[in-house]
Amino acid sequence: MTSSLFYTAQLGPSDLKDIQTLEQNLGVTLVAMDCDSSSEPAQLNAEQLQQLQALEQKSGKVLLAYA
C-alpha cells in the first residue's frame, strides 16, 4: 500500500474565495494542494534547480522537489 505525498486541499469558504479572487486578479488557474506533514521542500542548489527546470520544460510538467 502506498500513501500519497500530495492531495487536493480541503478549503474553507474564506480560503476558496481568496484563491478565486487571486485567480481572477492574475488571470491564471491555481491548484491548492496539501502535503504529507512529514515532508518539506527540498533545498536545491542553483545547478539542481536548473536541472529540474530543464526537465519541466522538456516534459511540460510541473515538478515539486521534497526531501
Q: What would the pLDDT profile of 6-61 be if each residue is shown by its tens digit?
A: 778 889 999 999 999 999 999 999 988 887 777 788 899 999 999 999 999 999 99
Domain span at residue 61 reads 38-67
Asked if 24 and 45 sit in the same domain, the reply is no
Q: Are 26 and 53 within one domain?
A: no
1 and 14 assigned to the same domain: yes
- Which of 1 and 38 is assigned the larger pLDDT? 38
Give the pLDDT score at 1.
Answer: 43
User: Residue 5's pLDDT is what?
Assistant: 72
Q: Strands 33-35, 6-8: parallel, antiparallel or unpaired by DSSP?
A: antiparallel
Going from the C-alpha of 28 to that of each of 8, 18, 19, 24, 46, the distances in angstroms are 18, 14, 11, 7, 27
pLDDT at 4: 66
Residues 13 and 29 in one domain: yes
Residues 54 and 29 occupy one common structural domain = no
Q: How many residues comprise the chain?
A: 67
Q: What is the pTM of this model?
A: 0.60
Counting the structural domains of the chain, the total is 2
